[in-house]
Structures are given as C-alpha cells and as structure tokens.
Amino acid sequence: MTDPGLLRFLELVVRELSASDARLELGGRDPADSGLLFCVAPSGVRVVVVCGSPPPDRAAVESRLGTMVATLFGSAEHGFGAPMSTRTPPDIAGRRLDDELGRLSERAGAAGALVFDLASPVLWGASRSGAGDPEKLFDDIIVRVREAHSELRQGHTARLRVNDSVECLARPFAGLYVVALAFEGAVSEPVALGAILHAMPMIERFVLALPPVDPPPGGAKVVRMPPRLR
C-alpha cells in the first residue's frame, strides 16, 4: 500500500531541491551518475534525487537533502517500513491536525497556532483563535515568518516580533513546513517550547498524511484548506 506521507515527502524534496524527480530505494548499489544525489536514512532506505544536470554546489544540496531525510526518518514514527496501522488516513489527518493545533495553542497560552509552508501559499492547518481578526493575525504571522526565513533552522524555535502587539514562535520541520504560535500578550518561552516539543510528533504525522494541494493561479497570499467535516 502506498504511504501518502512518503509520497508527500518526495514531492517536498523535488520542490525544495528544484529536482526533476525523487524516489526511494532499498538495497542495490549506490548511484554513480553525476546527475543523481542520494542520502541513506538510518533504516537503510536510500532517498535518490534526480537532477536535470549536476548541481553547481553539490555539497550544499547534499547537505540540504541530508537535513530533510534526518527530519522525516529520524524517529521510529516516520521510519520506512513502520506498520501501516500507525499511519493516519488523509481524509481525517486535516481534522486531527486542526485539533492538535488547538490543544497546542491552549497548552502554550497562545492566541492561536497554525501550520504553513515556505514554498506555497497554502495554510495546511490552524486552531480556532480568540483574536478579534484571526485571519489577519495568521496572515501577518505567515508574512513575518517568510520574511525571516533565513533565521529559521530545523530543530530550533525562533521568536519573532510580528507587530507592536503580537509576537510569534516559529519552528520549521520536515523540510519546508513551519508550525507557528501567535501571542498577543506575555510569552512564557519555557511553557510554550515544552508544548511545541510535546506536539511536534503528532503534527508532523498529520501534516505528512495530508494529500497534496495545487495552489490556484493568481499569486494569492494565503490559500486556506476547505473546512474540515466533523
């Protein structure tokens, strides 16, 4: 059975590395073609990236690929070959993602929580927010985090000032995704960071189980997912 999380990961690899294709291999010899990059996960699975031509900075691209592979395959939950019963069906992953973001927001004392990515206008999930204008709040956070993308590092949480009254904590994961918390008052970083670390395994699992979305043409700033059926 095809795992939608792995398919989504391969799509992210292609998009992030501007590649032609990406695939998983198990066994056999490592690729020797100069137009192919690869990284071996701890489980022994080889992630192979097909480039149209040899990249000018091969070491930098290989390093980026290694970071993405470590992010996805670094835990048993996302390991290739894990029992399919641990996977979340795509039709309920979005609902569970929103619910998990709601719990994260409550535990962190935040005004809201959201997940988006750095390469498309899609808002993959969001909690309910008590803010006066939650759509504007989330839009402002997405814009601010994208402006500060060079400050983001995998495995680290950045604290950013959005405007005079709003701060956010942003943590990248799985290559291009970001989970962000909005704060309209005081921020207790130890509490918020603990809540983020507690929630990340489930958030990653639900996000990687979501089906791909092709943003509509026109350059929209933010494209929201359709309402989840309850």
pLDDT of residue 69: 79
Q: What is the pLDDT of residue 60?
A: 86
The sheet carrying 21-25 orders its strands as 21-25, 46-50, 36-40
**What is the per-residue pLDDT for 88?**
53
- Model pLDDT, residue 220: 46
Ramachandran angles phi, psi of 185, nearest 5° = -140, -145
Question: What domains can be seen in the chain, in order of their start residue?
Answer: 4-85 (3.30.70), 88-224 (3.30.450.30)
The model's pTM:
0.62
pLDDT reported for residue 18? 85
Which residues have a Cβ under 8 Å from the Cβ of 186 and sit 6 or more positions away? none
Residue 140 CA, distance from chain mean position: 19
Residue 62 CB neighbours (<10 A): 16
Q: Give the Å distances, CA to CA, from 166 to 10, 78, 86, 161, 194.
A: 35, 34, 37, 6, 20
Tens-level pLDDT at each residue, the chain (230 residues): 456 667 777 887 888 788 999 999 988 888 888 889 999 887 788 999 999 888 888 888 888 888 777 766 654 344 444 433 345 565 688 889 999 999 999 999 999 999 998 887 789 999 987 666 788 999 999 999 999 988 898 889 999 999 999 999 999 988 789 999 999 988 899 999 999 999 998 998 888 888 776 655 554 455 555 544 44
**Contact indicator for 31, 49 with CB cutoff of 8 Å:** no
What CA–CA distances, in Å, run from 139 to 50, 76, 147, 219, 225? Answer: 35, 34, 12, 14, 14
